[in-house]
């Protein structure tokens, strides 16, 4: 297992290096931030001084070499717009995005797995057909439209929940959390539900497919022949077998929820990383964009590593294969 872990860490380092080149090249090709930062009426001396200050007058390879050296030292550069270090600026917004993403994944898991198991155990029942029809709607409806409908129904028409913002927060460990207060929890419900809808549909269909494939298997028949209760057969023997693809999808989808929560955060005015990255793209704030993308890449690498280690805990055959 130690050798497997070291091999994956080495692969992760290669991925980070390659992605740093791709990310920096992509951001470099977007445009010249000087056109946004400097007043068009500024004289040539001011323009030249600003370009030299940010190092934008140097060739691409030299800019990347400086970026890579700073990255190794833990410095992601200074924001052109806010004039503060880019990484702390992003990390200050990260708790809000993580809170929203974790809430959305919790909703998807708590409701998606039981509904998927029910649909897989009784595929021809009316309830199962209704569950699958709902999952199709979850895949088909655009996130921005669902968010607007949630605001219209639950905020405007019924007045049950607030339409936007994060609400009241509580400081725990030096980090502000909103789910620990009633007002913050009320603000969290609609954006979390909107963000969870697609993931909920995905987990329902994945769990259903796994149950339909697993229930006719020999080990399930053997468990029934031993006289085990149907609940134990389903919840212990069958469920553990379908967990591997579910863990894979949950790990990758959590990373995508964090990375692509931009639409939900914009609709509900949620003060997370999504709004910050949109503002940075509009102002061509390269250090913030690069720091955000590298943070997302590192997050996906870590999640993949955790998923692989989870395989070994769930399936002994993975551990034997590693040996």
Calculate helix-pair angle for 286-314, 86-121, nearest 10 degrees: 40
3-class DSSP state of 171: strand
% of the chain residues with pLDDT over 70? 85
Does the structure show a pLDDT above 80 at 91?
Answer: yes
User: What per-residue string of b and e applies to 148-174 under the rule 16 or more CB within 10 Å gives b?
Assistant: eebbeebbeeeeebbbbebbebeeeee
Residue pair 169/178 in contact (Cβ under 8 Å)? The answer is yes
Helices (H), the chain: 2-30, 34-37, 44-53, 60-72, 86-121, 126-140, 143-150, 182-214, 218-225, 230-232, 239-259, 262-267, 273-282, 286-314, 316-322
Token digits for 256?
A: 């995508």
pLDDT computed for residue 3 by the predictor: 66
Query: pTM to 2 decimals?
Result: 0.74
How many residues belong to the chain?
Answer: 323
Tell me the DSSP string of 305-323.
HHHHHHHHHH-HHHHHHH-
Distances (CA, A) of 119 to 53, 114, 116, 132, 133: 61, 9, 5, 7, 11
Instruction: Read off the pLDDT of each residue in 6-16 and give the average, rounded to a whole number.
Output: 76
**pLDDT-above-90 percentage for the chain:** 0
Max mean pLDDT among 1-15, 20-34, 134-148, 231-245 falls in 134-148
d(CA 5, CA 306): 10
Rounded to an integer, what distance in angstroms lies between the CA atom of residue 261 and that of residue 278?
A: 11
Least confident of 133-142, 143-152, 237-246, 268-277: 237-246
Q: Tell me how many degrees the CA angle 184-185-191 measures, rounded to the nearest 5.
A: 95
CA–CA dist 230, 227 (Å, integer)? 9
Q: What is the pLDDT of residue 320?
A: 46
Q: Which two tokens stand for residue 175?
A: 């980090």
Q: Which residue has the higher pLDDT, 203 or 216?
A: 203
CB atoms closer than 10 angstroms to residue 3 = 9
> Residue 315 pLDDT more than 80?
no
- For 85, the 3-state DSSP assignment is strand
Q: How far is CA 185 from the centre of its chain?
A: 20
């Amino acid at each position: 297992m130690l050798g497997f872990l070291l091999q994956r860490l080495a692969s992760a380092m290669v991925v980070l290096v390659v992605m740093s080149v791709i990310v920096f090249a992509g951001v470099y090709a977007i445009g010249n931030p000087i056109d946004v930062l400097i007043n068009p009426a500024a004289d040539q001396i001011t323009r030249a001084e600003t370009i030299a200050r940010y190092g934008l007058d140097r060739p691409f390879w030299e800019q990347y070499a400086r970026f890579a050296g700073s990255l190794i030292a833990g410095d992601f550069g200074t924001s052109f717009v806010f004039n503060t270090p880019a990484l702390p600026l992003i990390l200050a917004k990260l708790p809000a995005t993580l809170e929203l993403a974790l809430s959305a994944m919790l909703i998807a898991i708590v409701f998606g797995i039981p509904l998927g198991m029910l649909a897989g155990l009784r595929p021809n029942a009316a309830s199962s057909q209704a569950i699958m029809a709902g999952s199709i709607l979850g895949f088909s409806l655009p996130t921005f439209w669902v968010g607007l409908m949630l605001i219209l129904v639950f905020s405007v028409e019924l007045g049950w929940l607030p339409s936007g913002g994060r609400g009241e927060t509580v400081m725990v460990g030096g980090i502000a959390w909103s789910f620990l207060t009633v007002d913050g929890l009320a603000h969290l419900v609609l954006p979390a539900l909107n963000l969870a809808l697609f993931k909920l549909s995905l987990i329902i269909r994945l769990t259903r497919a796994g149950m339909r494939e697993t229930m006719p298997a020999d080990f399930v028949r053997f468990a029934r022949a031993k006289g085990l209760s149907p609940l134990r057969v389903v919840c212990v023997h069958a469920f553990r077998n379908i967990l591997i693809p579910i863990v894979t999808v949950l790990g990758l989808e959590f990373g995508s929820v964090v990375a692509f929560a931009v639409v939900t955060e914009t609709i509900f005015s949620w003060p997370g990383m999504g709004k910050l990255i949109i503002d940075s793209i509009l102002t061509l704030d390269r250090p913030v964009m690069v720091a955000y993308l590298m943070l997302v890449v590192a997050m996906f690498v870590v999640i993949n590593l955790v998923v692989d280690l989870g395989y070994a805990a769930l399936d002994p055959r993975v551990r034997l294969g590693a040996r």
